[in-house]
C-alpha cells in the first residue's frame, strides 16, 4: 500500500490469522510513522500510532487505519492489575462494564456500551466461546482468570458484517500467553491472601525460526464471601475452585504453509446463593468446558488463505437445596465451527479480505426443570475491501450474507474510514447494521417459539485521536439502535415491536510525566433506553477509570487505580448508589527474572453492590511471587 499503512506485521494476533504478504509488510514498515511513547502497564492509551490490531478488519491493520473504536489490553496491563478474574481488567476499558453476582466464580457478564452480553461475540485463540447452554448464548466471565492471558482486543460497535451474528455490540478477542522469547522459557507464579485465596500458574514456551508452542497450567481456590450481601444479613461464604490447562502451537512446514492448533480445558466448582429472594443457600454449581481449534495457513503470492475447524463444549450442573427450591439440573452446549479466511492484494492501494464459516450449535437440558435437546445451523460468507484512495485516508467496506436453519437469510454491512489529518491526529467513523440469531432455548424450550426472527441493529460512531508529545487523547461518540428484540412476553419468547437505543461518548487520556510517572484514564457516558423510552437497568450513566503508575526506584513499581460508577438502576428501575473503588499494588523486582508483589483491593473498604442484593469484596490483601527461567 502506497500511503498511510493499512497493514503491518503482528506477533500472534488475537485469533490465528494469515501471514502478511511480503509487499504489505514492507510497505507498512516503510510508512509507519514515529513510534509512540512506551506507556506503562495501566495507561489508558488514546492510541499508539504503530499498534497493530486484527479484530477491526479481520486482517492485521494499523490502529490509525481503521474506522472502528478498538481497545488493546496487553500483557503488561493484565499483570499489573494482578487480578484473579480477567473481567476485572476488561471492565476498566472504555465502554465496558461488568455485572457480577458475588465473589470469584459467580456469574459475571460484560456489557459493551450498555448492551446486554448476548450482543457480544467472544473468542479465545480463535475458538468462539459464547455459551450455547445459556438461555441467551453468552459468555460467563466469572470463571476465566487472567494469569495465562497475553492480549485482548475489544472491538466496539456492530460488527456482524465481519464476525456474524451476536456481534451486535462488539467483539472480545482473547489471546492466551504464547512463547515470551526465542528458545525455551518457563514461568511460575503463586499468589495468596484474603478469603483463603490461592492461585498458582506454570507456563512453558518455546520459539524457533519455524514456529512456537506454549503450555499454560493454572489453579485457583478461594473460600470467598457470601454472594448474598453480608450487609443484608447473609453469612455463608461461597467458595470457588478452578483448574485450567491451555496450549497453542504453530509450525511452518515450508515457506508457504503453516500448521497450528490451540485448545483449553477447565474444570470449576463453586457455591452460589438463592435468587428469589436473595439470601443464603447451600447451592452448588459444577462447570466443565473445553475447546480446540486446528488450522492451516497458506501463502499464495499476493495473498494468504487460512482454513480452520474448532469445537467447543460446556456442561453446567446446578444443585439447589433448602431454603431454596430443591432441584438438580444439567445444561450442555456444543458448537462446531468451520471457517475460511483469505486476503488478496489487488494493488498497492487495495486489498480484499474475504471468508466463510459454518456453525452448528446444540443444546441439551436434563433434570427437574424438564428435558429437551435441539440444534441450529448457520452459514455465512463475507467480503471486505480495504482501500487507500488518498494519502492518509483508509476506507473499509464490507458485506456479509448469513443463512440460518430456522429464519433464513440475513444481510449485514459496514462502512468505515480513518483519516490521518497529521502525524498525531486521526479522525475515524463507521456505520453498520447487525443481527443476533435466536438461541436454541429461545426457539425450542417450553417457553420458546420456533418462528422467531433475528434481532436487528444499526450502529453509528464518530471519533478522533490526538497525541501531543507525551500526552494522548481520544473521543468517540456512539449511537446504537436495536429492533425486533427477543423478549419474554406473556408465556413465551417473542419478537416485540419498538426500538431501544444506546448512545453516549467515550473519552480516553494518558500522560507520561518524565520517565517515572504515567497517568491514564477513561470516562464513558451512556444513555441507554428501552423500547418505552425508559432508562435501561444495570447500565451506569457514568463510568470513570483512572490509573497512576510510578517507578519509585529502579526495582520498585507502584500502581493505584480508581473505578467509579454512577447513575445506575437495578431490576425494577430501583436507583442504586454510586461508588468509587481504589486498588493499589506494589511490585518489587528481586532479580531480573523474579518479582514480589503486594496488592490491596478496595483499599478504602467501600461497601457497594454491582447487582442489587449481591455483595462485593471488602478490603483484601494478596501477596505474590513470580519467576521466569
pLDDT category, 48, cuts 50, 70, 90? low
Q: pTM for this structure?
A: 0.92
| Distance of alpha carbon 218 from alpha carbon 245, whole angstroms | 7
DSSP-derived letter for residue 533 is S
Mean pLDDT (whole number) for 550-564: 96
Q: Is the dihedral of CA 163, 167, 168, 169 positive or negative?
A: negative
530 by Cβ neighbours in 10 Å (0-12 / 13-18 / 19+) ranks as middle
pLDDT, tens digit (0-9, with 9 covering 90-100), for 504-537:
999 999 999 999 999 999 999 999 999 999 999 9
pLDDT category, 406, cuts 50, 70, 90? very high
| Distance of alpha carbon 541 from alpha carbon 530, whole angstroms | 14
Does 217 have pLDDT greater than 50?
yes
The answer to whether residues 312 and 128 touch, using CB atoms and an 8 Å cutoff, is yes
CA angle 244, 249, 252 (to 5 degrees): 175
pLDDT, tens digit (0-9, with 9 covering 90-100), for 368-401:
999 999 999 999 999 999 999 999 999 999 999 9
**pLDDT recorded at residue 599:** 96
Per the listing, cell 512456537 goes with 212
Tell me what percent of the residues of the chain surpass a pLDDT of 90. 85
| Beta bridge mates, 418 | 394, 428
Name the more confident of 313 and 489: 313
Average pLDDT value for the chain: 91
Domain-wise residue ranges, the chain: 22-628
| Distance of alpha carbon 602 from alpha carbon 618, whole angstroms | 6
7-16, 40-49, 115-124: segment of lowest average pLDDT = 7-16
**pLDDT recorded at residue 489:** 83
Tell me what percent of the residues of the chain surpass a pLDDT of 70. 92
**pLDDT recorded at residue 26:** 30
Q: Is the preceding peptide bond at 277 cis, omega within 30 degrees of 0?
A: yes
**pLDDT recorded at residue 81:** 83
95-109, 267-281, 432-446, 512-526: segment of lowest average pLDDT = 267-281
pLDDT, tens digit (0-9, with 9 covering 90-100), for 414-445:
999 999 999 899 999 999 999 999 999 999 99
Per the listing, cell 478477542 goes with 173
Q: Which three cell numbers stand for residue 155?
A: 472491538
The answer to whether residues 562 and 544 touch, using CB atoms and an 8 Å cutoff, is yes
The answer to whether residues 389 and 395 touch, using CB atoms and an 8 Å cutoff, is yes
Pick from 510, 397, 503: which is nearest to 459 by CA?
503
Does 34 have pLDDT greater than 80?
no
**pLDDT recorded at residue 491:** 86
Pick from 288, 70, 42: which is nearest to 163 by CA?
70
DSSP 3-state of 617: coil
Residue 561's contacts (CB-CB under 8 Å, 6 or more residues apart) are: 42, 81, 92, 545, 546, 547, 548, 582, 583, 584
pLDDT, tens digit (0-9, with 9 covering 90-100), for 52-70:
999 999 999 999 899 999 9
**pLDDT recorded at residue 307:** 98
| Distance of alpha carbon 105 from alpha carbon 241, whole angstroms | 8
| Distance of alpha carbon 193 from alpha carbon 601, whole angstroms | 11
Looking at the domain 22-628, which fold is it? Maltoporin; Chain A (2.40.170)
DSSP-derived letter for residue 87 is H
Per-residue exposure over 195-231, b if at least 16 CB sit within 10 Å of its own CB, e if not: bebebbbbbebbbeeebbbbbbbbbbbbbbbbbbbbe
pLDDT category, 18, cuts 50, 70, 90? very low
Mean pLDDT (whole number) for 18-23: 35
pLDDT, tens digit (0-9, with 9 covering 90-100), for 469-513:
999 999 999 999 999 999 998 789 999 999 999 999 999 999 999
Mean pLDDT (whole number) for 603-614: 95
Amino acid at each position: 500500500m502506497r500511503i498511510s499503512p493499512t497493514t503491518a506485521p503482528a506477533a500472534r494476533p488475537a485469533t490465528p490469522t494469515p501471514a502478511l504478504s511480503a509487499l504489505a509488510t514492507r510497505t507498512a514498515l516503510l510508512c509507519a510513522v514515529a513510534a509512540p511513547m512506551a506507556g506503562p502497564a495501566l495507561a489508558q492509551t488514546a492510541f499508539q500510532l504503530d499498534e497493530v490490531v486484527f479484530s477491526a478488519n479481520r486482517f492485521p491493520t494499523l490502529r490509525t487505519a481503521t474506522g472502528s473504536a478498538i481497545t488493546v489490553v496487553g500483557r503488561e496491563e493484565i499483570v499489573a492489575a494482578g487480578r484473579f478474574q480477567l473481567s476485572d481488567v476488561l471492565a476498566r476499558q472504555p465502554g465496558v462494564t461488568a455485572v457480577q453476582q458475588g465473589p470469584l466464580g459467580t456469574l459475571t457478564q460484560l456489557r459493551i456500551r450498555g448492551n446486554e452480553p448476548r450482543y457480544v461475540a467472544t473468542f479465545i485463540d480463535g475458538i468462539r466461546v459464547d455459551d450455547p447452554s445459556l438461555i441467551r448464548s453468552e459468555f460467563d466471565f466469572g470463571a476465566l482468570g487472567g494469569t495465562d492471558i497475553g492480549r485482548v482486543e475489544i472491538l466496539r460497535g456492530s460488527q456482524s458484517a465481519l464476525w456474524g451474528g451476536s456481534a451486535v455490540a462488539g467483539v472480545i478477542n482473547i489471546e492466551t500467553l504464547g512463547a515470551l522469547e526465542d528458545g525455551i522459557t518457563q514461568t511460575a507464579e503463586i499468589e495468596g491472601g484474603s478469603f483463603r485465596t490461592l492461585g498458582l500458574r506454570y507456563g512453558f514456551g518455546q520459539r524457533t525460526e519455524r514456529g512456537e508452542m506454549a503450555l499454560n497450567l493454572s489453579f485457583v481456590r478461594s473460600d470467598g464471601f457470601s454472594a448474598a450481601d453480608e450487609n443484608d444479613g447473609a453469612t455463608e461464604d461461597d467458595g470457588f475452585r478452578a483448574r485450567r490447562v491451555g496450549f497453542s502451537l504453530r509450525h511452518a512446514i515450508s515457506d508457504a504453509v503453516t500448521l497450528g492448533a490451540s485448545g483449553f480445558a477447565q474444570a470449576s466448582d463453586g457455591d452460589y446463593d438463592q435468587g428469589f429472594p436473595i439470601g443464603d443457600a447451600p447451592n452448588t454449581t459444577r462447570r466443565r468446558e473445553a475447546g480446540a481449534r486446528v488450522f492451516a495457513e497458506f501463502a499464495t503470492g499476493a495473498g494468504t488463505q487460512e482454513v480452520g475447524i474448532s469445537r467447543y463444549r460446556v456442561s453446567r450442573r446446578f444443585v439447589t437445596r433448602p431454603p431454596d427450591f430443591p432441584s438438580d439440573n444439567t445444561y450442555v452446549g456444543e458448537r462446531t465451527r468451520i471457517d475460511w479466511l483469505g486476503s488478496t492484494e489487488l494493488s498497492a492501494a487495495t486489498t480484499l479480505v474475504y471468508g466463510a464459516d459454518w456453525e452448528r450449535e446444540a443444546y441439551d437440558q436434563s433434570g427437574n426443570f424438564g428435558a429437551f435437546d435441539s440444534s441450529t445451523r448457520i452459514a455465512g460468507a463475507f467480503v471486505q475491501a480495504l482501500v487507500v484512495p488518498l494519502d492518509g485516508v483508509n476506507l473499509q467496506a464490507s458485506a456479509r450474507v448469513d443463512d440460518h436453519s430456522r429464519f433464513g437469510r440475513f444481510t449485514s454491512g459496514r462502512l468505515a474510514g480513518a483519516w490521518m489529518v497529521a502525524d498525531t491526529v486521526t479522525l475515524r467513523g463507521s456505520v453498520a447494521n447487525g443481527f443476533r440469531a435466536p438461541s436454541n432455548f429461545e426457539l425450542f424450550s417450553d417457553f420458546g417459539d420456533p418462528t422467531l426472527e433475528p434481532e436487528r441493529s444499526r450502529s453509528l460512531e464518530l471519533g478522533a485521536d490526538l497525541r501531543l508529545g507525551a500526552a494522548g487523547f481520544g473521543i468517540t461518540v456512539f449511537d446504537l439502535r436495536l429492533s425486533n428484540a427477543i423478549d419474554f412476553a406473556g408465556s413465551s419468547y417473542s419478537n416485540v415491536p419498538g426500538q431501544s437505543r444506546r448512545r453516549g461518548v467515550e473519552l480516553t487520556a494518558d500522560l507520561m510525566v518524565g520517565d517515572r510517572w504515567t497517568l491514564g484514564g477513561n470516562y464513558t457516558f451512556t444513555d441507554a433506553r428501552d423500547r418505552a423510552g425508559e432508562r435501561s437497568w444495570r447500565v451506569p450513566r457514568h463510568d470513570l477509570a483512572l490509573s497512576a503508575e510510578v517507578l519509585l526506584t529502579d526495582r520498585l513499581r507502584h500502581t493505584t487505580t480508581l473505578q467509579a460508577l454512577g447513575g445506575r438502576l437495578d431490576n425494577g428501575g430501583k436507583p442504586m448508589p454510586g461508588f468509587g473503588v481504589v486498588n493499589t499494588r506494589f511490585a518489587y523486582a528481586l532479580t531480573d527474572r523474579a518479582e514480589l508483589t503486594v496488592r490491596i483491593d478496595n483499599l478504602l473498604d467501600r461497601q457497594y453492590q454491582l447487582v442489587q442484593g449481591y455483595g462485593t469484596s471488602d478490603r483484601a490483601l494478596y501477596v505474590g511471587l513470580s519467576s521466569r527461567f
